[in-house]
Every structure is written in structure tokens, then in C-alpha cells.
Chain A
Amino acid sequence: MSAWQLYALSGLAWFGVGMWGLFAHAHWVRKILAVNVAGSGLFLVLAALARRATTPAPDPVPHALVLTGIVVGISATALALSVARRLAEVEATARLDEDATHEPAAPPAGADARAGGDAAPPPAGGGAPP
């Protein structure tokens, strides 16, 4: 097996792991992280393919593509994380309103869908007395 095949296989496995994480995780930040993992795996595949060139230096076109990909990837990641953060902010306020007015003593319903994190109050943690 030549070196490029080794790295291409490795990148392929890496990419697959990232894709699995993307599908399997329910948490937004973990999904974003997994997409990044998958993307980096693809970059490794591309860089490995560049080594197929019979010339002494590797093929510069895949390298340029990977450079573009890395920069686009970080900006997409930053945007996605901002949206997730905003979501967290909106969610926190919405949850408090709900607690205060509507469901003062309901047990946390749909627990696996709304795993609220141990730092934040659970969806209905008692709330204010009506």
C-alpha cells in the first residue's frame, strides 16, 4: 500500500466517524463539532489524492481546494455556533416564562428530548407560586 492510499483510507474512516456523529448526536454543538470532524476527514482524503501525482511535488489544485474549504468551514462553524448560542439564549428566557405562568408543578416531560443540562433549571423546577 502506498502512502497516499494509507492516508486516503484513514481520511475516509475519519470522515465516516464524523458523519456518524452528525447523525447520532442530538445536541447542536456536538453536531457542529461532528460536521467539522467529517470535513477535516474529507480534507485529508483530498490531500492524499493530491499525492497520486507522478510529479515530484503533489498536485496543487486539491491543496487550493482544501485551503478554500478550511476557511469556508471555519466561517460556517462560527455562524452555526452563533445560531446555537442565540437558540440557547431564547430558550432560557422562554423556559423561565413558562415556569412562572403556565406549568408551576408539572414534572419535566419528555426528558430525553429536553435534557436541560445540569447547570440550568429543569423545564419545570417548581417555579413561582401561582
Chain B
Amino acid sequence: MAELRAAVALFLVLTVLVGMIRVARGPSFADRMLVALLMGTTGVAVLVLLAASPGAGALRDVALVLSLLASVTVVAFARLAASGREPAAGPAPGHPDAPAPAPAAATVTVTATVTATAAATDATAAAGADAAAAPEPPP
């Protein structure tokens, strides 16, 4: 039984690693958050499996904490980070491999919306649109 538990735990760790492909592929931030969600649940499963070995009962508390707090990051994502537009493909600014930014790349697209549903309270204005000036058309 102990060997089976360890084997299942190993299997779950491997599924987590395979799931990382989706983080790499994206394409949207929400897709990547999904992987984080699945990884959280898989982590809980691995921890309860490991906790069944003698002397490791404390790991069940870790699983408890993980399951309790798994949604905090998602909430922060939904409230703060989700409404910005996705950065264009290619290296982001500031990365060693980043090319020089094109001078006319300043199109501020506001994609946040106030839906008629409960999301009406989401006061998250467009992320990244915080430069207060309206962008000028390219010369």
C-alpha cells in the first residue's frame, strides 16, 4: 500500500511537470493561471498521499493550508492583473534579449469592462494604461 501511494504521488508529480507545457504555451494569462490552479490541487493530492506514511502526518496540515489559500492568488489575479491586455509577442522590455522598442508602439488599449453582473465592483481599470496621457498618433 505504501509503495502504491508513493507511485501515485510520483505519477501526480509527473502530471504537474507535463502541465507546465501549458504555462509555456499560454497563450493568455488566464491559461497560465489555470495551470497554477491545477498545480495547487495536484500539490494537495501529493501532500495527502505523502502524509499517509508513518510520522509524516504534519504534511496533512500543509495540505490543509494549501487548500485553504489556493484561491487567494486567483482573486488577486482577477482583481488586479487580469484586465490588462496581453503584451505583444516577443521579449518584453527590460529583458536582456529585448529589442529596442518601436517608437510608435504606444497604443493604449483599454480592455477592462464593467459588466452588468457582479463584476461591476471590480474597480480595476486597465492595467498598464496608467500613463495619464492619451497617446499621440505616430508622426
Contact = CB atoms under 8 A, between A and B. Distances in A.
A–B touch (CB < 8 A): the answer is yes
Interface SS of chain B: loop
A119 B128 contact: yes
Contacts of B105: 118, 122
B82 to A, nearest CB: 15
Nearest to A21: B96
Interface residues of B, number: 28
Given A118-B87, A118-B88, A107 B98 contact: no
A96 B130 CA distance: 12
B95 to A, nearest CB: 7
A26 B96 contact: yes
A26 B106 contact: no
Contacts of B94: 25-27, 29-30, 115
Contacts of B108: 119, 121
A60 interface: no
4 nearest CB pairs, A to B: A27-B94, A119-B128, A115-B93, A111-B100
Interface of B: 84-85, 87-88, 93-96, 98, 100-101, 103-106, 108, 127-133, 135-139
Interface of A: 24-27, 29-30, 92, 95-96, 99, 105, 107-108, 111-112, 115-122, 125-127
